[in-house]
Chains A and B, each alone.
Chain A
Amino acid sequence: MSNLQVSIYRYNPETDSAPYMQEFQVDTKGRDLMVLDVLHMMKEQDNGLAFRRSCREGVCGSDGMNMNGKNGLACITPLSDVIKGNKLTLRPLPGLPVIRDMVVDMGLFYKQYERIQPYLQNDEPAPAIERLQSPEDRDKLDGLYECILCACCSTSCPSFWWNPDKFVGPAGLLQSYRFLADSRDNATEQRLSELEDPFSVFRCRGIMNCVAVCPKGLNPTRAIGKIRDMLLADAT
C-alpha cells in the first residue's frame, strides 16, 4: 500500500469563510520521502496549496509546521518519523494567525526576537583585527547561535500561546542568552534589566515542549534557566 492519506489544513481568506481539513491521496511508491516532498506532490494536484519552503535541508527555517501533532521542519522529517497508520495530518504552526493554508503570520514571533536586541553590543573601540576570544569562551555559544528562527519551539509553548505579546518565548530567550553568554558582549546589565518583569522570562513554566521539538537539537529551557540564574544573582 503506497497511497498515503494526507489530511491538510486549508484556508484562503478570499474564498473560505472558515478553515477546513482537505484529504489528499499521495502515491509515495513506498518510498520514505520527506514531508516536504509530499507537500510538493500535493501542490501538483492542487496548485493553490500554499506553504513556505526554501533550503530544503533544514537550515533556513521556512517550513516549520505541525505534523501529526508535533512541530518540526517538513524538509528534514521523513515520513517514517511521523506517520501513524498510513495517515499524515498537517496543520500550520499553532498559536499564530493563519494567512493562508500552512502559512502563518510570524509577526509576533519576530517582534519578540527583535525585542531582545539580537546583536552584539560592545561600546569599546574595535581593534584593527578581530576581537580575540578563547576557544573555551567560543564553546559557550555552541547550542545557541545555531537557531534558525523556524518558530517550532515558541509555537509549541503554552506560555507563548497565552502571552505572545509579553513572554519572549523560547526562541527569543535562546538568542538573548546567546548574547549574554558571548565574552565579546558587554551589555549584560542592560539586557538583564529589560527581562526582569514577571512575564518576559518568568512565564516559562519548564514544560520543555521547546526542547522536544527543536529540529536543531537545541535546548531553550536550559538557556532560560541560565538567564533566570543571572537575574536572580543580579537581584541579590
Chain B
Amino acid sequence: MSNLRSLTYDAIIIGGGGSGLRAALELAKSGKKTAVLSKVFPTRSHTVSAQGGITCAIASSDPDDDWRWHMYDTVKGGDYIADQDAAEYMCSEGPKAVFELEHMGLPFSRFDNGRIYQRPFGGQSKNFGEGGQAARTCAAADRTGHALLHTLYQNNLKNNTTFLNEWYAVDLVKNSDGDVVGCIAMCIETGEVVQVKSKATVLATGGAGRIYASTTNALINTGDGIGMALRAGFPMQDMEMWQFHPTGIYGAGTLVTEGCRGEGGYLINKDGERFMERYAPNAKDLAGRDVVARSMVMEIIEGRGCGEKGDHVFLKLDHLGEDVLGKRLPGIVELSKTFAHVDPAKDPIPVVPTCHYMMGGIPTNVHGQAIMQDESGNDQIVNGLYACGEAACVSVHGANRLGGNSLLDLVVFGRAAGMFIESALNEGIEYLDASESDIEFAMKRMSRWNESEGGETVPALKAELQEIMQNSFGVFREEKNMQEGVQKLADLRSRIDNAYLPDKSNAFNTARVEALELDNLMEVAEATAIAALERKESRGAHSRYDFPDRDDVNWLKHSMYYPATKELKKRDVNFKPKTVDTFEPKVRTY
C-alpha cells in the first residue's frame, strides 16, 4: 500500500479565493466535513485585488433595473458564445447572492437612501441596449474584492470551516473508472505529501495570467487547477479567450479599475484627444473591454501613443476632483502614486492593455460539475470533479467578460456548487478507492522534480514562456506568428520536462512550489496557443488580423482542447434560457 498519510473529507475545495470560500461556506453550514486547501492564507488570494465592484441588478441606483437587461449585456459582451442558461442563472440569482454578502457584513459604499452604491461600468445598458448607460456595479469604494474576500473568510471562521492553509495541491487522483477521488497535496511548511480523499473535489484555483509577461494578475495566478485537470486528461473550453484589461499601469502592470471610467474618467492619446469617441460613439470609454483595448492598441500602432516611445495612452482623472477620487477611488490614487509616480488629481495615469482574465477554463454546468464529451460529442459529467470561479468556464463570459461580472460569477457559482454537492452527498455517492498505481500516476511529476539531478532552472524557463505568450498571443493575433509560438512552446515543454530543482529541502521550500507551478503554466500556455491558432475568426477578445470577422457559420461554438491529442474540437453553445427568450446573435457595436 501507499505509504502516504491520507486525509478524508466529504468535500475538498482547492483554492481559498472568492469562489472557493463561497462554496466552502455553503458546505460548512450544511455540516459536511469540508476543507479548503489553499497555497496561500485565504485573504492573500487574488480576489483581494478586485477593485471596481460586483455587477448585479439589485435595483438600487435604478429602481426599475431588471436582471434580464444584465443578462442581455452579458451575452452581448461575450460576443454570443456565453451559455444563455448560465448567464440567466447568474443574473437572476445574483441579487440573492449579493444581499447575502451584505448580510454577512460586506462594507458596501452607500447612496443617501442607505442602499448599496452602484456605479456605471463598461458594456452596461438599460432596456436591452435601448435605454442608455446603466449603473449596475455594486461597490465598496474601489476595494470591493478585498471587502468581499475578507467577509467570506470571516464568515467561514464563524462557521468553523477547516482550512489547510499554505498547502499546495499537486495533482488529481483518479480511480480506475476515471472518477476523481481527491488529490495529492503538499504541506508547504513541512514538505509532507498526503493523499486527500474526497467524494467531491472542487477546483477553485483561479486564473493563470502569469502565462503572460505583462499581467494585472498576482504572482500566484499560475493556473494550478487547469494544469491538474489537463494532466488528468480532461478537456478545456475556450482557452483562446483571454481578456486584456484596457488600463494596466504602464510598466508595472498593476490594475486601474474600469470604475475610473465609470466615475467619469476617460482615455486620451498624445494629442489629448478622447479617442474612444471615434471607436465607440455611444458607449465611448465604457464599451466592452476588448473593444477599448483594441482601440488603444490601434492608437499606439498609428503613432498617437504617449510617452517617448509612444507605447501607451493616458487615463485622465484630474477633472473628477479630489473629493470623488478620495471617496470613490482611494485605492487607485495610492496605486498610481506608488507604481506610476503620478498623482491622478493632477496628472493622467499612463496605461496600456494588460492580460487580466481567463474567460476559458474547465467546462462545467451551472452546478459546477465538470464536463467532458463522449465520442459522439455529447456532454458527459466527470464524476467527483467540480470547478467554479475563474478556473471554470460555465460559460457566462463567453469571448469577453464584462467588468464586475467576475465577482458575481464567484459568489453565484461558488454557492451553486456548494448547494449541489450538499444534495449529492445527501443522496449518497460511492466511488472506487484509488489503487496504488492510480496514486503513483498522480505522484509522477512531483517525483520527477524531486529526483531531478541537473538541467535548466525554473526562473529562466518561466520568463521564456511568458515572452512567447506575450509576443505571439496578445491583443492582436496572426497565423504565422502563432504557429511559431506553438512550435516554441513545444520545444519549451521538452526542456521543462527535463528541468532541474536544485533545492530539495522540505521546510517551506518555495522553489519546489514554483517548479510545480511552472508545469501548470506550461499546460495553460499550450492549451491557449493551440486553441488560438485553431479558432479561425475574430470574436470578443480573440482578434486575428488574418480572420478579422466573426464567423457565426463555423464558430458560434465553444472550443474544446483535448490534452492527450492536442486537438481542438467544438461544443455547442447553449441558446435555451429557461425563462426568457433567446438573445439571437447580432452585430456587436457600442
Which of B29-37, B113-121, B406-414 participates in binding chain A? B113-121
Answer whether A99 and B108 are a contact pair too, CB < 8 Å, given A76-B338, A148-B43.
Answer: no
* Residues in chain B near residue A56, CB distance under 8 A: 218-219, 254
Nearest CB in chain B: distance from A230 CB, A: 19
Is the contact region of chain A dominated by helix, strand, or loop, or is it mixed?
loop
- Against B, the Cβ 8 Å flags (1 = close, 0 = not) of A142-159 are 000110110000000000
- Against B, the Cβ 8 Å flags (1 = close, 0 = not) of A12-26 are 111100000000000
* Residues in chain B near residue A103, CB distance under 8 A: 508
B46 within 8 A of A: yes
Known A12-B505, A53-B219, A62-B40; 4 more pairs at CB < 8 Å: A14-B506, A47-B457, A47-B458, A182-B107
A69 within 8 A of B: no
A207 within 8 A of B: no
| CB-defined A-B contacts under 8 Å, sample of 22 | A55-B49, A56-B219, A57-B335, A58-B334, A58-B335, A60-B40, A62-B40, A99-B507, A100-B508, A118-B157, A120-B105, A122-B103, A126-B103, A129-B95, A130-B103, A130-B116, A132-B113, A134-B110, A138-B107, A141-B107, A145-B147, A149-B43
Q: Once the chains bind, are A100 and B154 in contact (CB under 8 Å)?
A: no
Nearest CB in chain B: distance from A223 CB, A: 15
A128 within 8 A of B: yes
Q: Once the chains bind, are A60 and B115 in contact (CB under 8 Å)?
A: no
* Residues in chain B near residue A52, CB distance under 8 A: 40, 44
B545 within 8 A of A: no
Answer whether A133 and B110 are a contact pair too, CB < 8 Å, given A55-B46, A62-B44.
Answer: yes
Q: Once the chains bind, are B154 and A118 in contact (CB under 8 Å)?
A: yes
Q: Once the chains bind, are B507 and A59 in contact (CB under 8 Å)?
A: no
Nearest CB in chain B: distance from A225 CB, A: 21
B441 within 8 A of A: no
* Residues in chain B near residue A129, CB distance under 8 A: 58, 95, 99, 115
Instruction: Count residues of chain A with CB under 8 A from any CB of chain B.
Output: 54
Nearest CB in chain A: distance from B109 CB, A: 7
> In the complex, A180→B436 CA distance in Å?
54
Answer whether A138 and B109 are a contact pair too, CB < 8 Å, given A12-B507, A55-B218, A61-B44.
Answer: yes
Q: Once the chains bind, are B110 and A135 in contact (CB under 8 Å)?
A: yes
Q: Once the chains bind, are A50 and B459 in contact (CB under 8 Å)?
A: no
> In the complex, A61→B107 CA distance in Å?
19
> In the complex, A58→B335 CA distance in Å?
8
Q: Once the chains bind, are B338 and A58 in contact (CB under 8 Å)?
A: yes
Nearest CB in chain A: distance from B550 CB, A: 35
> In the complex, A135→B41 CA distance in Å?
32
Nearest CB in chain A: distance from B255 CB, A: 8
Nearest CB in chain A: distance from B514 CB, A: 8
> A114: nearest residue on chain B (CB-CB)?
B157
> In the complex, A118→B41 CA distance in Å?
16
State the B residues within 8 Å of A (CB). 40-41, 43-46, 48-49, 58, 95, 98-99, 102-105, 107-116, 140, 143, 146-147, 150-151, 154-155, 157-158, 189, 218-220, 254-255, 331, 334-335, 338-339, 457-459, 502-503, 505-511
Nearest CB in chain B: distance from A124 CB, A: 11
| B143 interface neighbour in A50, A62, A128, A146, Cβ under 8 Å | A146
> A47: nearest residue on chain B (CB-CB)?
B511
Q: Once the chains bind, are A54 and B511 in contact (CB under 8 Å)?
A: no
Q: Once the chains bind, are B46 and A135 in contact (CB under 8 Å)?
A: no
Q: Once the chains bind, are A130 and B58 in contact (CB under 8 Å)?
A: yes
Q: Once the chains bind, are A54 and B110 in contact (CB under 8 Å)?
A: no
> In the complex, A138→B155 CA distance in Å?
20
> In the complex, A131→B106 CA distance in Å?
11
- Against B, the Cβ 8 Å flags (1 = close, 0 = not) of A167-205 are 000000000000100101100000000000000000000
Answer whether A57 and B254 are a contact pair too, CB < 8 Å, given A50-B508, A130-B103, A132-B114.
Answer: yes
A51 within 8 A of B: yes
A106 within 8 A of B: yes
| A51 interface neighbour in B108, B335, B510, Cβ under 8 Å | B510
Nearest CB in chain B: distance from A218 CB, A: 12
Q: Once the chains bind, are B154 and A119 in contact (CB under 8 Å)?
A: yes
Q: Once the chains bind, are A60 and B105 in contact (CB under 8 Å)?
A: no
> In the complex, A110→B166 CA distance in Å?
14
A123 within 8 A of B: no
* Residues in chain A near residue B49, CB distance under 8 A: 55, 57, 59-60
Residue of B44, B49, B335 with highest tally of chain A CB at under 10 A? B44
* Residues in chain A near residue B102, CB distance under 8 A: 130-131
Nearest CB in chain B: distance from A226 CB, A: 17
Nearest CB in chain B: distance from A83 CB, A: 17
Answer whether A55 and B48 are a contact pair too, CB < 8 Å, given A138-B109, A145-B147.
Answer: yes
| A50 interface neighbour in B155, B339, B510, Cβ under 8 Å | B510
* Residues in chain A near residue B502, CB distance under 8 A: 47-48
> B157: nearest residue on chain A (CB-CB)?
A114
> In the complex, A219→B264 CA distance in Å?
31
> In the complex, A43→B219 CA distance in Å?
14
> In the complex, A130→B219 CA distance in Å?
35
Q: Once the chains bind, are B43 and A60 in contact (CB under 8 Å)?
A: yes
> In the complex, A168→B403 CA distance in Å?
39
| B44 interface neighbour in A13, A54, A120, A135, Cβ under 8 Å | A54
Q: Once the chains bind, are A131 and B103 in contact (CB under 8 Å)?
A: yes
> In the complex, A148→B111 CA distance in Å?
26
